[in-house]
Amino acid sequence: MSGVPYTGGGRARNLLWLWISALVVALDQYTKYLVSSSLILHQPNPVLPHFNLTLMHNTGAAFSFLHDAAGWQRWFFLSVALLVGGAILAMLWRLQGGQRWVAVGLALILGGALGNVWDRAVLGYVIDFLHFYWGPHFFPAFNIADSAITVGATILIIDGLWPKRGER
């Protein structure tokens, strides 16, 4: 033996975090199936004060950015999401041991991106349905995939700002 401690699978172990991505995709697609099969497009369904379930089809990006473009945005956003997904896989592969929160954040972002990529590739739009409002002010509808991306990005930001052991 060379005296190098066994690390249990090398970088391939980093891909074990993909179970989080798979769970996000499964939950996202299941909830989108449920709302698509039970709600009427653009009809709010009150759940709690300041929260409706409202089925919407988003052909744009975040906050419906470019939703009214001529159709090219579907392929553009699909391409960007696939490139980002590939970059995230590469980042996961290269993570050092002990970077658990970074792995969780990346896996959440990847799962969210893949959930929305599926919609965009198969349907031509992303299904959104979580719709919050305050009086006459509405926050754009979103879905489980969008939530996973937001939580994942927040984890990465917090991890980047939090001092590491041994740092001042």
In angstroms, the CA 33 to CA 122 distance is 13
In a domain, 142, yes or no: yes
Catalytic one of 28, 68, 119, 128: 128
- 74 in a structural domain: yes
Active site residue 128: yes
Domain range for 102 is 19-37+52-161
Q: Is residue 6 part of a domain?
A: no
Query: Per the domain annotation, does 8 fall within a domain?
Result: no
Whether residue 1 is contained in a domain is answered as no
The whole-number pLDDT of residue 70 equals 52
The least confident of 56-65, 66-75, 87-96, 110-119 is 66-75
Annotate 117-155 with three-state secondary structure: HHHHHHHCCEEEEEEEEECCEECCCECHHHHHHHHHHHH
Instruction: List residues bridging with 142 in a β-sheet.
Output: 130
Determine whether 28 is an active site residue: no
Residue 38 confidence (pLDDT) above 80: yes
Quick: pLDDT tens for 123-160.
Answer: 989 999 999 999 999 899 999 999 999 999 999 999 99
- C-alpha to C-alpha distance for 88 and 85, rounded to whole angstroms: 5
In a domain, 33, yes or no: yes
Question: Structurally, how many domains does the chain consist of?
Answer: 1
Catalytic residue among 68, 119, 146, 159: 146
Q: For the segment 90-114, what is each residue's pLDDT rounded down to a tens digit?
A: 999 889 878 999 999 999 999 999 9
CA dist., res. 13 & res. 23, Å (int): 18
Backbone angles phi, psi at 162, to 5 degrees: -75, 130
